[in-house]
Structure 1
Amino acid sequence: MERVEGHLNDGQEVQERLAIDTAINTLIVVLVYLVIKMSFDGIRQWRAKVSILVVGAGPVGLTAALVAVRSGKVLSLTILDERSRTSLLCRPQQIALDPRSVKFLLALGVDFDNIEGCWHNDHFFTKIGVFQEHVLSILEQRKQTLDIRILLGTKFTEEYIRKMSQGEWPKIIIVADGSCGESSSLLGVNSEFIVESCNAYGANAALERPDQRQVMRNIFHQSFNAYKTDIEPRMSDLTLPHLQCSRRLFEIVLSHRRVTSAFIEGDNIVVTLEGEAVRVLNFDTGCGVNLGLRGLESSEQFIYKIATAVDQSDVFEALAAKIKHSKQVVEEFKLHGLLTSVFE
């Protein structure tokens, strides 16, 4: 009996050792598999890149191009605008970049020390053309290391689409061609806008000039003299009493698209709208650019997710996050946007 019990105990010990060895070997195999998989996934994500088309070379479109470059996921980047380079760089309209926009642009490599402009209460004032020239110069420098094509004087039309071969189609199209652009319609994006009140009112200001017939509207007094044209007289405190405002106030409203991003399933292309192509104010003080830059704050992560997407579920997840952020931009602006952009 003792011998039988001894043999049974030895057999149990052998089985226990075998079970432990099997568990250890299985654990090692699983760990090795996970390490290899994570390594391959890391390499795949590191190497994953996408071709991007930006339609519109305004302040928002060019900034979107900078965001794409910083993402590190650009295979090729094409910037398209129907306006010529001269038309873009000669735009005299003024923009006022608020502190949040300044911080965002600094992170993208914008050097405000090398942009003609002026500061006031941490806001940076400059001409749209001057700002665009600076951003274009940054993109021109990046051409040395990236495939960047800047096609000015080229309109995004059905003919342009037909000329593109299947291999040239971008995976991401960023539409930033303004409130009057037609690119989103050509791509089949719903054009319905939602109009909402900002719970604020404004008035048109005008200064009659005896030597000129035109009426100058929405003048920034502190920066007007720095950016006036040579034929315009300087504005002084003596002329301010002659500044007239419209007698009737108008309600400030924000129009924003119901659809801000889309997926073209047949071609596996994602489309996202930025700037005034998706959010438009009914008055112009330059803060529309700030509103456009808000939408770009989620674009780098969006590009990364699209570039590293394994299947359509990953693409839809990225689109859902972008759409959610676009809605947040609208809600935040209705609550605080006018206060921070105009009245600081």
Structure 2
Amino acid sequence: GENAEEKYRALAYDTALSTLVAVALYVVVKVSLDGFRQWRARISVLIVGSGPVGLTAALVAVRSGKVLKLTVLDERYRTALLCRPQQIALDPRSVKFLLGLGVDFDNMEGCWHNEHFFTRIGVFQEYLLSILEQKKQRVDVKVQLGTKFTEDYLRRIPHNDWPRVIVVADGSCGDSCSVLGISSDYTVESCHAYGANATIERLDQRQVPTPEIRAHSLYFDLSAYGVEALREHRNPTTKPGFHLKIYGTFRNRYMALVCPASDTKMVRFLRHTANSSIMKNIFHQSFNAYKTDIEPRLSDVTLHHMQCSRRLFEIQLSHRCISAAYIEGDNVAVTVEGEAARVLNFDTGCGVNLGMRGLESMGTFIYRTATAVDQNDILEALSAKMQHSRQVAETFKQTGLAESMYE
């Protein structure tokens, strides 16, 4: 009886040990296979829009190491794309992000000021296109300019060549989201400030990058209109008065005027006045007071070169309720970026940085989508991407104007 019991114990021990070894071996093999599968995982990505955000998204995709084929679409042709005169200002956070993507600012026309980099949109886009051209040795990169993203374009793609990820970055006026069936509902939120914009176009001036100029705590003499410049200020967290920014090239000058939301007599007057010449005079005097010494003043003769807002308006941020989606039948993950996802109704000259913030989670999103085991993994990646997009909008609503105008 004792021998039988010992044999039973030995058999049980051997069985348990064998099971343990088998389980351990299974775990090791599975982890190794999963790691190998994740290492080999490569997907196809389609980016709609080749503006600063779209091309930066393309660079993020290439740098992720998980893209086998990358296609960039834009309905504009190369000439129209690269001749855009607007200047962009890349703040320190965007500069750091782009440096991490391999952008060499020393090889790009532009200038530095207070750790911000200023360049023309066309120059920035041309530089990013040149980087993508160099990446063709490792990734199948196709830039299709003059090609519009439509339902017909999608139908012409063989089903086995469909992208796993589509990035929509075709701006606030693009219709790619409607082509993909993504809701066009927006949430509009106040930034608790009022603003006005002005533009000056002088074709005889230089088209070179120029540092921005900021002025703070401005008050305007509107006594001729029956408004006294009472220096009321009820928000201790921001600087009082108006804040002015002059930016852009000498040929295409832009101005932004902003003040924190308040109910002072001057603000009420400038919000509701029907006399459009008042804002024009404010911008006229402000430009001449704060412009650089080497550019000409605005005179009554040249004032017709300036266009401006008729009155102060409430600054609002609009962002899509749905900025990421999953096309189940085709197993495609879609994310909406840049001004296609969120847009400010006020130009501060730093708008591209809002788009860059959204791209900070793009690399992780592509990696998680490429290595997803099932649909749940993709949905989790989309959920995280949408959450980050909402956070970008919320953060800008709280601090965006402070960073781009008040400081």
User: What TM-score results when the alignment is normalised by the length of structure 1?
Assistant: 0.88
Paired position in structure 1 for 2:380: 317
SS of residue paired to 1:228: coil
Tell me how far 1:89 sits from its aligned partner: 1.2
Paired position in structure 2 for 1:148: 141
In the TM superposition, 1:78-117 aligns within 5 A as: 78-117=71-110
Tell me how far 1:225 sits from its aligned partner: 9.6
Indicate whether 1:51 and 2:73 are aligned.
no
Paired position in structure 1 for 2:260: none
Paired position in structure 1 for 2:25: 32
The one-letter amino acid paired with 2:249 is Y
Provide closer, same or farther for how the CA distance between residues 246 and 319 of structure 1 changes in structure 2, counting only shifts above 3 A: closer
Tell me how far 1:315 sits from its aligned partner: 1.2
SS of residue paired to 1:57: coil
1:302 to 339, 345, 365: 365
The one-letter amino acid paired with 1:252 is I
Give the share of equivalent positions with the same residue, in percent. Answer: 64
SS of residue paired to 1:38: helix
Tell me how far 1:200 sits from its aligned partner: 1.7
Tell me how far 1:252 sits from its aligned partner: 1.1
SS of residue paired to 1:203: strand
Distance 2:379 2:337 in 1: 18
Paired position in structure 1 for 2:64: 71
Provide closer, same or farther for how the CA distance between residues 224 and 320 of structure 1 changes in structure 2, counting only shifts above 3 A: closer
Distance 2:327 2:309 in 1: 46
SS of residue paired to 1:342: helix
Provide closer, same or farther for how the CA distance between residues 333 and 226 of structure 1 changes in structure 2, counting only shifts above 3 A: closer
How many residues align? The count is 327
Tell me how far 1:241 sits from its aligned partner: 8.3
Provide closer, same or farther for how the CA distance between residues 247 and 79 of structure 1 changes in structure 2, counting only shifts above 3 A: closer
Paired position in structure 2 for 1:332: 395
- Partner deviation per Cα, 1:181-203 (whole Å, 9 max, x = no partner): 01110110001111100112223
The one-letter amino acid paired with 1:173 is I
Tell me how far 1:207 sits from its aligned partner: 6.0
CA contact (8 A) 1:95 1:285 kept: no
Indicate whether 1:255 and 2:318 are aligned.
yes
Tell me how far 1:240 sits from its aligned partner: 6.1
In the TM superposition, 1:256-295 aligns within 5 A as: 256-295=319-358
Distance 2:121 2:32 in 1: 46
Provide closer, same or farther for how the CA distance between residues 302 and 13 of structure 1 changes in structure 2, counting only shifts above 3 A: same
Tell me how far 1:204 sits from its aligned partner: 2.6
The one-letter amino acid paired with 2:383 is A
1:128 to 115, 121, 130: 121
Indicate whether 1:166 and 2:166 are aligned.
no
1:199 to 192, 198, 213: 192
Distance 2:108 2:406 in 1: 24
Structure having the higher helix fraction is 1
Distance 2:377 2:201 in 1: 57
What value does the CA root-mean-square deviation take over the aligned residues?
Answer: 2.7
Paired position in structure 2 for 1:4: none
SS of residue paired to 2:137: coil
Provide closer, same or farther for how the CA distance between residues 128 and 47 of structure 1 changes in structure 2, counting only shifts above 3 A: same
Tell me how far 1:15 sits from its aligned partner: 3.0
Distance 1:326 1:226 in 2: 28
Provide closer, same or farther for how the CA distance between residues 208 and 22 of structure 1 changes in structure 2, counting only shifts above 3 A: closer
Tell me how far 1:171 sits from its aligned partner: 1.1
The one-letter amino acid paired with 1:93 is Q
The one-letter amino acid paired with 2:390 is K
Distance 1:208 1:53 in 2: 36
- Partner deviation per Cα, 1:21-63 (whole Å, 9 max, x = no partner): 2222211111100001111111111111111000000000000
The one-letter amino acid paired with 2:250 is K
Distance 1:266 1:99 in 2: 42
Distance 2:401 2:81 in 1: 27
SS of residue paired to 1:259: coil
The one-letter amino acid paired with 1:53 is L
- Partner deviation per Cα, 1:285-339 (whole Å, 9 max, x = no partner): 2322100111111111111111111111111111111111111111111111222
Tell me how far 1:266 sits from its aligned partner: 1.2
User: What TM-score results when the alignment is normalised by the length of structure 2?
Assistant: 0.75
